[in-house]
Copies of this chain bind each other. A is one copy, B any other.
Amino acid sequence: MAVHQIGEGGLVMYWVTFGLMAFSALAFAVMTFTRPLNKRSHGYITLAIVTIAAIAYYAMAASGGKALVSNPDGNLRDIYYARYIDWFFTTPLLLLDIILLTGIPIGVTLWIVLADVAMIMLGLFGALSTNSYRWGYYGVSCAFFFVVLWGLFFPGAKGARARGGQVPGLYFGLAGYLALLWFGYPIVWGLAEGSDYISVTAEAASYAGLDIAAKVVFGWAVMLSHPLIARNQTDGSLLINSTNDPFVASTTHIPERQGGIFGGLMGKKRGAGTPLATNEGVPRKAAPTAATTTAGNPATAAEV
């Protein structure tokens, strides 16, 4: 019975990846907190992604976040469950980073994110499974991956096109890059946690490479294309400007907007809306509802 554990090279990869994630976290924090309050939503999301990944990589580099699991072949292999905890939180955030550009119905955003969470959890269960049933988890996890892809490229793409302007280009660029990268994970899983075919060091290096591309590179792309995203984002202003108190809220001078996943989660200000203020350059596909409600009431619109 062999015991497969990580080698020096794998730990080096963990430290390098930790360094990149931590550096990006510090940089993204500075970039985000120096932005106007109503232009931070994508910064917050991207900052959370690299921060969580930095902690996970520190844990793995510090020889934590793993457990010896026996394989059907009778060998013991170190399974790094820490990366699944990382992915549980970061993959939904990565999806939000792009889905929030589409303005698709929240019900759809919800099932895409839940399919993603199921995909990750099944990958973890399969990795911790000591028998061949692990492949059952794997198969269903892959099925959920296709549900996520379907959500990104059918309803998601439809929403992006509906918003028009610079959104489709931005959305397809980010979503396509992410989707392509994500195909790498199930391949590594099959060779590493799944079949115990490649070494734990090779596994560590492969996942690290994928995470750097999917979080650091993707993160910098999102942060650097910030002006473009901020101009086209659907929720940024809501996330930041809605407050616990109308008195304070009304002093921030941000035009009211409609809900959205953040709007809903965060509460938002009511009344007359001039969404153009937070959507410059986005061609109106229809009159915003909020505006409609006050259209018959010039006095109100005038006051805001």
Binding site for B on A (CB under 8 A): 37, 40-41, 44, 48, 51, 55, 58-59, 61-64, 99-100, 102-111, 114, 118, 121-122, 125, 128-131, 133, 136-137, 140, 159, 162-163, 234-235, 238-252, 256-273, 275, 279, 282, 284-290, 292-304
B273 pairs with A241, CB closer than 8 A: no
B251 to A286, Cβ gap below 8 A? Answer: yes
Closest Cβ of chain B to A54, distance in Å, is 9
- Top 6 closest pairs, chain A to chain B, by CB: A259-B267, A103-B245, A296-B299, A271-B293, A264-B267, A62-B133
20 contacts between A and B (CB under 8 A): A55-B118, A55-B125, A55-B140, A103-B248, A110-B266, A242-B260, A242-B264, A244-B263, A247-B279, A248-B285, A249-B289, A250-B285, A250-B287, A259-B268, A269-B289, A293-B294, A296-B297, A296-B300, A296-B303, A297-B297
CA distance in complex: A193, B152 (Å): 44
Contact B263 A267 (CB under 8 A): yes
Q: Judging by beta carbons under 8 Å apart, are B296 and A302 in contact?
A: yes
Q: List B contacts of A273 (CB < 8 A).
A: 246, 270
With a cutoff of 8 Å between Cβ atoms, the chain B residues found around residue A248 in the complex are 102-105, 159, 162-163, 285
Q: Which residues of B contact A272 (CB under 8 A)?
A: 292-293
A106 and B243 within 8 A (CB): yes
Q: Which residue of B lies closest to A99 (CB)?
A: B244
| A256 proximity list for chain B (CB < 8 A) | 270, 289, 293
Given contacts A64-B129, A103-B249, A292-B300, 18 further A-B contacts (CB under 8 A): A44-B107, A44-B111, A100-B244, A103-B244, A105-B249, A106-B239, A107-B241, A108-B240, A109-B244, A159-B248, A234-B243, A246-B289, A250-B292, A261-B266, A264-B265, A270-B273, A270-B293, A293-B300
